[in-house]
């Protein structure tokens, strides 16, 4: 502090004399300095980095503050200070990079001192007007708080005010020079940092030269310094003076910059050439470079400025350079270094790699280097899109496929190339051809990435456009590549790698229906079934693709392939995820080909249902898909209950679309922000793998109908009747709410209409609603074995209608002949017999069979509705009395008296009310949601 004061004291006289001079001729100096700094101004205007802009803003604000300080305008000071703080916050990015600018610290320190001084000055304070006094106290508090954050810097500044003052100039100057010569702030700042140690010694020396060369500048230079200290000692300066000194300051700064810039250059030339070589490399203007460096230079220039490549191409290697592996590798590394940097032209980089590959090939540098370059080309192709969401452009994609194909070609041709992720960079062997090549890189990762890109492309293409079909045709190539990789890996790769590539293969196989195998199994080879013609476009595409890509496994069924691949994974895989995926795909494939028992056994044996909720979303989606396919498969096989249970979880949520990854549901934004939406979008399954949602819903509703309608009929009067399927009931209610019932239009309406018919036991109408032209085209035709499914459906409808009929109308009959029933429902006698017997055994129907006359004798033990009601009432009254007793118990002060009343059994004989409560519960448990597994396991 003392030192600071001493200095400012000594200078005070000098500057005051300066004041007079500047007062006399402010205009002249201004003009002069303008002239001097003209050329620099120009360059400054052209390129100004963000840092410059911000700092200028700051300095301007600081200037105003200083002015306000001088005239003791506290309110203005406060205002400006607040602005300054804001501006500083705004430039935080730059400050973080550059460090806090010293001039800023200087202002803070000065301002605080100044304020303290004013505060001490009681007299002066009294004289101040109210506003100013108020502003002063606020500002004082504010700055105190604010300065706490910069304590160390301020302390440093106070320790050595001069140095920090110099530092400021120092900082400004290289940055300016940088901006004038090239726009790379980073580089210049680096060079500045390197120079820093020299700064103090230079400072004195520089100020001398500056004084010698220009009187004016030196005087204003001092002036500049003084201004900073002004606050300490000359608060009563006049307005005009501060204005002029402002201008002076600016001019002086400019001039100084010029001087120091020259100076630095000069000193660079003379001092330590070794160190500065690095720096010079980064300043492309300096052209005296050696040949090797020229390459680097070229690389840098191309990348930085984005100069058209064609021109630069010859520059890749200087003429006459002997092109060998080392040189190419070096070049490769150079290109690689630019990767990921801002401003790097990625397309150009890819071109560069290609050119390099061509050169390498030209000069016969061996396969090792070629492989290496190929790896990099593919990697940079993937890098082309900066964010994950965007997908590859078609030409990029083609290029990528070609590249991978070529790479695989090379790998197949040359057995002596080892590739692997864990080969270290320096242990690579690219040149020596008599030893096996060793190249760092992982073909598997590349192919996996390619597969993902393919998925991404499919996700981002409109599924109803021709483009989608075109893109889908590429799947053949993708599969081909995966297959080739598979054969390659089988020879060379480790088990884990084989597992990974197998999974890829499985992922491309599991959802495709193997028509050939299907036809073979039906013995219809070569004969095109009409149903197949009706298959959707995408299905045909699928098949086409498969035929393309499975040329080598022509004879093999996809089932066999799946079996082989999956079993390998089950045996060898160590990571849980791959195995889970493989199992799910395997189940899916089984289910798709109607191998219900295999699929179900695999699902139950894997115990996936227990812990699937812990898996990651994509696996869960796969699980959901598998469950749905399993349910549909069960339906085709006529296992209605299994179908219903498998589909229940997906359908009951009402979010089937989302759960299957086939589209996003419209939801309000608060539930999901943009970020989440992006993630969810990435999880979507491409269109060609979709499961038809209408089919899914229809299968679910029809199976629910087949279960629910007889159940409803059986338990019409049961108070505790439970719904088997909420969704189905919802559909029924919606149907009932219709004011006007026209002929059914949608699939749902059809099912509802059919349900109504079935309720009346009218199976013919039900049948005509479920199976007709409309429903065929909407739903049933999507099944591969349509005829069988239809037959099954008809039969089920007949059976369940019979059951419903018996439940509903049994009270009307005393006896009914089975022959009549069989005629009514067009079922064979034995079937009718078995259905009725089953109902009797299950105590659903109170009846007995009279063998000689083939009739069903009703026993009439079913209570009438009135009786049912009375029973219910009795039960309720029992409850009421019980509750009442509790109240009276309480009144008599027997606490807990009702806890042991159960033994007394006063009103607890509810069993007598519940006619067959037990059997209900047993039956109901089977319909509970979790019951699916338990039941099935019980069956084994």
Give the footprint of another protein on residues 778-807 (CB under 8 A). Answer: none
Q: What's the rounded Cα separation, in Å, for the pair 517 and 680? A: 36
Q: Which residue lies nearer to another protein by CB, 734 or 880?
A: 880
* 579 Cβ contact partners less than 8 Å away, ≥ 6 residues apart: 569, 570, 573
Least spacing, CB of residue 651 vs another protein, in Å: 33
Q: Which residue intervals of 100-160 are DSSP H helices?
A: 102-120, 122-127, 130-147, 151-159
Q: What's the rounded Cα separation, in Å, for the pair 684 and 690? A: 10
Q: Which residue lies nearer to another protein by CB, 790 or 872?
A: 872
Least spacing, CB of residue 813 vs another protein, in Å: 19
Task: By CB under 8 A, name the one of 886, 894, 917, 921 that touches another protein.
Answer: 886
Give the footprint of another protein on residues 892-911 (CB under 8 A). Answer: 893, 895
- Which run of H or of E encompasses 56? helix 50-70
Task: By CB under 8 A, name the one of 6, 390, 432, 887 that touches another protein.
Answer: 887
**Interface with another protein includes 812 (CB under 8 A)?**
no
Dihedral sign for Cα 827, 831, 835, 836, please: positive
Least spacing, CB of residue 895 vs another protein, in Å: 8
The token pair that represents 107 in the structure block: 């202002």
* Coil/strand/helix, residue 419: strand
Q: Which residue lies nearer to another protein by CB, 287 or 891?
A: 891
- Which run of H or of E encompasses 76? helix 74-90
Dihedral sign for Cα 649, 651, 655, 660, please: positive
Least spacing, CB of residue 877 vs another protein, in Å: 6
Quick one: which of 641, 648, 653, 613 has its CA closest to 627? 648
Q: What's the rounded Cα separation, in Å, for the pair 76 and 82? A: 10
Residues in the chain: 940
Least spacing, CB of residue 760 vs another protein, in Å: 21
Least spacing, CB of residue 901 vs another protein, in Å: 14
* 802 Cβ contact partners less than 8 Å away, ≥ 6 residues apart: 761, 763, 821, 824, 825, 827, 832, 835
Q: What is the dihedral of CA 575, 576, 579, 583, to 10 degrees?
A: -170
Least spacing, CB of residue 841 vs another protein, in Å: 31
Q: What's the rounded Cα separation, in Å, for the pair 257 and 82? A: 30
β partners of residue 855: 817, 850
Mask: binding to another protein, 846-885, rule CB under 8 A, as x and -? ------------------xxx--xx-xx--xx-xx--xx-
The token pair that represents 373 in the structure block: 């370059």
Angle at 644 between CA 640 and CA 649, to 5 degrees: 165
Q: Which residue lies nearer to another protein by CB, 82 or 882?
A: 882
Least spacing, CB of residue 706 vs another protein, in Å: 31
Q: Which residue lies nearer to another protein by CB, 330 or 876?
A: 876
Q: Which residue lies nearer to another protein by CB, 829 or 870?
A: 870
Least spacing, CB of residue 908 vs another protein, in Å: 16
Least spacing, CB of residue 866 vs another protein, in Å: 5
Q: Which residue lies nearer to another protein by CB, 900 or 937?
A: 900
Least spacing, CB of residue 879 vs another protein, in Å: 6
Q: What's the rounded Cα separation, in Å, for the pair 656 and 470? A: 29
CB 91 within 8 A of CB 57: yes
Q: Which residue lies nearer to another protein by CB, 93 or 865?
A: 865
Rg (CA), the chain: 44
Q: Which residue, chain included where needed, has tokens 């029992």?
A: 878
Q: Which residue lies nearer to another protein by CB, 347 or 887?
A: 887
**Interface with another protein includes 891 (CB under 8 A)?**
yes
Q: Which residue lies nearer to another protein by CB, 24 or 720?
A: 720
Say how many residues touch another protein, by CB under 8 A: 19
Dihedral sign for Cα 198, 200, 201, 203, please: positive
Q: What's the rounded Cα separation, in Å, for the pair 160 and 162? A: 6
Q: Which residue lies nearer to another protein by CB, 524 or 873?
A: 873
Least spacing, CB of residue 622 vs another protein, in Å: 48
- If phi > 0 it is left, if psi is from -120 to 50 it is alpha, else beta; for residue 638 that is left
Least spacing, CB of residue 739 vs another protein, in Å: 18
HEC per residue, 619-682: HHHHHHHHHHHHHHHHHHCCCHHHHHHHHHHHHHCCCHHHHCCCCCCCCCHHHCCHHHHHHHHH
* 636 Cβ contact partners less than 8 Å away, ≥ 6 residues apart: 594, 596, 783, 785, 788, 789, 792
List, in sequence order, every beta strand (DSSP E) within 417-502: 417-420, 437-440
**Interface with another protein includes 571 (CB under 8 A)?**
no
Least spacing, CB of residue 869 vs another protein, in Å: 5
Q: Which residue lies nearer to another protein by CB, 432 or 881?
A: 881
Q: What's the rounded Cα separation, in Å, for the pair 513 and 692? A: 14
Name the pairing type of β-strands 815-817 and 855-858.
Answer: antiparallel
Q: Which residue lies nearer to another protein by CB, 34 or 870?
A: 870
Q: Which residue lies nearer to another protein by CB, 577 or 876?
A: 876
Q: Which residue lies nearer to another protein by CB, 389 or 880?
A: 880
Q: Which residue lies nearer to another protein by CB, 574 or 891?
A: 891
Least spacing, CB of residue 859 vs another protein, in Å: 20
Q: What's the rounded Cα separation, in Å, for the pair 354 and 347? A: 11
Least spacing, CB of residue 914 vs another protein, in Å: 16
Least spacing, CB of residue 864 vs another protein, in Å: 7
- What single-letter DSSP state applies at residue 197? G
Task: By CB under 8 A, name the one of 890, 902, 922, 928 that touches another protein.
Answer: 890
Q: Which residue lies nearer to another protein by CB, 521 or 864?
A: 864
Q: Which residue lies nearer to another protein by CB, 202 or 862?
A: 862
Q: Which residue, chain included where needed, has tokens 């109908």?
A: 705
Least spacing, CB of residue 919 vs another protein, in Å: 24
Quick one: which of 552, 621, 553 has its CA closest to 585? 621
Enumerate binding residues for another protein (CB under 8 A).
864-866, 869-870, 872-873, 876-877, 879-880, 883-884, 886-887, 890-891, 893, 895
């Amino acid at each position: 502090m003392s030192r600071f004061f001493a200095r400012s004291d000594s200078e005070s006289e000098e500057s005051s004399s300066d004041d007079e001079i500047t007062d006399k001729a402010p205009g002249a100096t201004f003009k002069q300095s303008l002239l001097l700094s003209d050329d620099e101004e120009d360059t400054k205007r052209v390129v100004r980095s963000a840092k410059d802009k911000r700092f200028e803003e700051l300095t301007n604000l600081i200037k105003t503050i200083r002015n306000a300080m001088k005239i003791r305008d506290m309110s203005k000071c406060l205002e400006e200070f607040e602005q300054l703080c804001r501006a500083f916050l705004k430039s935080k990015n730059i400050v973080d990079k550059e460090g806090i600018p010293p001039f800023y610290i200087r202002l803070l320190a000065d301002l605080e001192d100044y304020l303290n001084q004013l505060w001490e000055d009681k007299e002066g304070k009294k004289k101040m007007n109210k506003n100013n006094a108020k502003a002063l106290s606020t500002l004082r508090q504010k700055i105190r708080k604010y300065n706490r954050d910069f304590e160390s810097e301020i302390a440093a500044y106070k320790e050595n005010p001069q140095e920090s003052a110099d530092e400021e100039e120092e900082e400004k100057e290289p940055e300016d020079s940088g901006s004038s010569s090239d726009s790379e702030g980073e580089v210049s700042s680096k060079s500045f940092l390197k120079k820093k140690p020299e700064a103090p010694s230079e400072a004195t020396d520089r100020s001398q030269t500056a004084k010698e060369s220009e009187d004016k500048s030196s005087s204003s230079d001092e002036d500049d310094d003084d201004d900073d200290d002004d606050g300490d000692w000359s608060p009563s300066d006049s307005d005009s003076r501060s204005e002029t000194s402002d201008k002076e300051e600016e001019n002086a700064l400019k001039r100084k910059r010029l001087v120091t810039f020259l100076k630095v250059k000069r000193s660079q030339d003379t001092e330590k050439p070794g160190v500065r070589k690095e720096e010079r490399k980064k300043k492309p203007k300096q052209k005296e470079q050696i040949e090797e460096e020229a390459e680097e230079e070229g690389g840098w220039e191309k990348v930085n400025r984005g100069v058209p490549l064609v021109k630069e191409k010859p520059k890749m290697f200087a003429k006459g350079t002997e092109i060998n592996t080392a040189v190419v590798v070096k070049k490769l590394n150079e290109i690689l270094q630019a990767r990921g940097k801002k401003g790097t032209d990625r397309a150009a980089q890819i071109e560069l790699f290609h050119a390099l590959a061509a050169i390498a090939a030209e000069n016969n540098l061996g396969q090792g280097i070629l492989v290496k370059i190929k790896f990099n080309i593919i990697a940079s192709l993937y890098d082309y899109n900066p964010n994950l969401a965007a997908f590859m452009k078609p030409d990029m994609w083609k290029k990528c496929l070609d590249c991978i194909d070529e790479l695989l070609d090379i790998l197949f041709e040359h057995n002596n190339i080892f590739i692997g992720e864990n080969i270290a960079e320096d242990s690579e062997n690219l040149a020596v051809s008599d030893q096996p090549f060793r190249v760092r890189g992982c073909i598997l990762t590349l192919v996996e990435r390619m597969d993902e890109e393919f998925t991404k492309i499919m996700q981002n293409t409109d599924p109803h456009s021709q483009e989608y079909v075109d893109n889908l045709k590429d799947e053949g190539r993708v599969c081909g590549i995966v297959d080739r990789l598979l054969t390659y890996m089988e020879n060379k790769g480790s088990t884990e790698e084989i597992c990974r590539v197998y999974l890829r293969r499985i992922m491309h196989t599991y959802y495709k229906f193997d028509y050939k195998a299907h036809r073979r199994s039906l013995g219809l080879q070569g004969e095109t079934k009409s149903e197949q013609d009706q298959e959707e476009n995408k299905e045909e595409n699928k098949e086409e693709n498969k035929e393309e890509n499975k040329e080598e496994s022509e004879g093999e069924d996809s089932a066999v392939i799946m079996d082989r691949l999956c079993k390998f994974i089950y045996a060898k895989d160590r990571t849980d995820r791959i195995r889970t995926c493989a199992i799910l795909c395997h189940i899916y494939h089984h289910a798709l080909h109607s191998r219900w028992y295999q699929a179900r056994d695999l699902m139950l044996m894997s115990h996936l249902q227990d812990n699937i909720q812990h898996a990651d979303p994509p696996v869960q989606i796969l699980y959901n898909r598998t469950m749905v396919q399993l349910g549909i498969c069960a339906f085709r096989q006529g296992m209605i209950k299994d179908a219903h249970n498998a589909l229940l979880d997906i359908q009951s949520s009402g979010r089937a679309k989302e759960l299957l990854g086939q589209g996003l549901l419209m939801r309000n934004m608060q539930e999901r922000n943009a970020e989440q939406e992006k993630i969810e979008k990435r999880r979507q399954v491409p269109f060609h793998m979709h499961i038809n949602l209408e089919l899914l819903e229809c299968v679910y509703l029809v199976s629910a109908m087949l279960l629910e309608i007889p159940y409803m009929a059986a338990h019409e009067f049961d108070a505790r009747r439970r719904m088997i399927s909420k969704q189905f009931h919802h559909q029924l209610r919606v149907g009932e709410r219709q004011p006007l019932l026209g002929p059914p239009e949608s699939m749902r309406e059809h099912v509802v209409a059919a349900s109504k018919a079935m309720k009346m036991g009218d199976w013919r109408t039900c049948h005509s609603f479920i199976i007709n032209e409309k429903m065929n085209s909407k739903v049933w035709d999507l099944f591969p074995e349509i005829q069988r499914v239809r037959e099954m459906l008809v039969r089920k409808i007949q059976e369940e209608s019979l059951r419903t009929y018996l439940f509903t109308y049994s009270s009307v009959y005393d006896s009914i002949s089975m022959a009549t029933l069989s005629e009514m429902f067009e079922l064979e006698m034995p079937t009718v017999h078995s259905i009725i017997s089953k109902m009797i055994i299950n105590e659903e129907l109170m009846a007995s069979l009279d063998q000689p006359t083939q009739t069903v004798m009703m026993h009439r033990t079913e209570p009438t509705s009135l009786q049912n009601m009375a029973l219910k009432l009795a039960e309720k009254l029992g409850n009421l009395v019980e509750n009442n007793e509790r109240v009276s118990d309480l009144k008599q002060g027997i606490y807990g008296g009702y806890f042991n009343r159960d033994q007394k059994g006063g009103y607890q004989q509810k069993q007598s009310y519940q006619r067959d409560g037990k059997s209900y519960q047993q039956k109901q448990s089977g319909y509970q949601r979790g019951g699916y597994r338990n039941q099935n396991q019980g069956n084994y």
